[in-house]
Amino acid sequence: MDGDLAQALKSEARRVGFDMAGVVPATPARRLDAYLAWIEAGRHGSMGYMARPNRVERRLDPSLILPGVQSIVCVGLGYATLALPEAVAADPARGRIANYAWAADYHDVMTPRLEALADWLAARVAGPVANRVYVDTGAILERDHAEAAGLGFTGKNTMLIGPRRGSWFFLGELLTTAALTPDVPAARQPSCGSCRRCLDACPTGAFPVPYVLDARRCISYLTIERKGWIPRALRPLMGNWIYGCDICQDVCPFNRFAPPSLEPAFWAASIEAMAPPLEDLLALDREAFAARYAHGPIRRLGWERFLRNVCVAAGNWGNEQALHGLVRLLATDAPLVRGHAAWALGRVGVTETTAARAGAAKAAMQNALAGETDERVREELQGALAGRG
Ligand code: SF4
């Protein structure tokens, strides 16, 4: 094994723009059993791809991903930028977007850098070498490999935490057939100790026990991964999050001194990119959504799911200013959006709306119900009219 090459590779990783790098042998991840138990318990929700047998097999044996693989190079890139002013974050008239999605899509930033690293390595290894790069795309337990490579420890919120860096960083991997000297993490790692702030702060109770996330209750999952209807019982607990959630990282003491990202691609262009007014978002049609989110990860969510999330946040806002946009959405061609708009209208009606405006919203819902053919949307409209927000 070539220790000098591993050292030089990690220096090169920093030179091409990563903040952290470490090497592990390409053996199965240490917490594979916990992962299998998590799948078995159904805590991955509707992310069926995580449980597909061929993907589980690849996690068990990395050589199924890359025959002859010897090493995994784990890299990290910080994305924490300036914090959102507290008054803005707490404003229910705004929808909150998770920090990682405030600017460029991290896949677009990290993938070319990993490919450059792979080329650099290939040029320095005697004989043929095969490489494969992953940014969140492969069937490997990247957090566990990164932990073994010395990038941090796993917190009770299931995030990887770098002791002087916090958890605001993306992970990527370079799998290679080159035999590189692995890193040996420090014998004594920091840990969460008796802290449980993230567990207590999660509004949807997504951590049944420390170190285990039930994705089905996680706001990030509900707003991004879940394709269909958001369970009614969870909607009121989601606050104003419309894309992802940062709560379990925001409260973590290890993040208090996290260095801000030096990567300009992750700097938000404006407050609107971090927490846009809900009224503006309710007015977005498909074209306006595509134009507004042409760059960055939100575009992959698509208009329907994004507006679904915006409707939930508008329902939690409960302010009459949302009425116009919500009523307009009752006429859209997407049942998912119509149904969540109906739910939100039901909540506006029971909170701050004046009698006249509540009456107008009720009339719009009755009108919509008369012409509605989708059973699920009818249910939402009936629930809203009956005041079952
Ligand atoms: Fe660990 Fe506390 Fe951070 Fe949760 S908030 S990950 S318990 S240190």
| Residue 135, burial from CB neighbour count under 10 angstroms (0-12, 13-18, 19+) | buried
The pLDDT tens digits for 12-44 are: 999 999 999 999 999 988 888 888 889 988 998
Looking at the DSSP assignment, which residues form a beta bridge with residue 154?
160
Q: Would residue 108 show up in a list of annotated catalytic residues for this protein? A: no
Q: What is the DSSP letter of 353?
A: -
Contact (Cβ atoms closer than 8 angstroms) between residue 296 and residue 274: no
Residue pointed to by tokens 């302010």: 319
Q: Is any ligand 1 atom within 6 A of the Cβ of residue 195?
A: yes
In whole angstroms, what is the distance from residue 193 CA to residue 224 CA? 31
Mapped onto helix, strand or coil, the DSSP state of residue 12 is: helix
Nearest CA to ligand 1 atom 7: 196
Residue pointed to by tokens 């199965």: 28
Contact (Cβ atoms closer than 8 angstroms) between residue 319 and residue 352: yes
Contact (Cβ atoms closer than 8 angstroms) between residue 75 and residue 172: yes
The C-alpha R_g of the chain, in whole angstroms, comes to: 23
In whole angstroms, what is the distance from residue 239 CA to residue 221 CA? 14
- Taking the centre of ligand 1 as the mean of its atom positions, its distance from the CA of residue 72, in whole angstroms, is 27
Which of the residues 119, 136, 200, 285 is marked catalytic? 136
pLDDT of residue 354: 59
Q: Is any ligand 1 atom within 6 A of the Cβ of residue 253?
A: yes
In whole angstroms, what is the distance from residue 135 CA to residue 119 CA? 16
- Taking the centre of ligand 1 as the mean of its atom positions, its distance from the CA of residue 199, in whole angstroms, is 8
Segments of the chain scoring below 70 in pLDDT: 1-3, 349-357, 388-389
Q: Is any ligand 1 atom within 6 A of the Cβ of residue 252?
A: yes
pLDDT of residue 127: 84
> What token pair was written down for 147?
């932990």
pLDDT of residue 51: 81
Q: What DSSP assignment string belongs to 65-78?
A: TSTT--EEEEEEEE
pLDDT of residue 313: 98
The pLDDT tens digits for 99-149 are: 999 999 999 999 999 999 999 999 999 889 999 999 987 788 999 999 999
Q: Which amino acid is at 230?
A: I
**Other beta carbons within 10 Å of 368:** 22
Q: Give the number of the atom of ligand 1 that is nearest the alpha carbon of residue 255.
A: 3
Helices (H), 84-204: 86-89, 106-122, 142-148, 197-201
In whole angstroms, what is the distance from residue 18 CA to residue 102 CA? 19
- Mutate which of 197, 246, 255 for ligand 1? The one with the most ligand atoms within 8 Å of its CB, which is 197
Q: Give the number of the atom of ligand 1 that is nearest the alpha carbon of residue 159.
A: 6
- Taking the centre of ligand 1 as the mean of its atom positions, its distance from the CA of residue 216, in whole angstroms, is 21
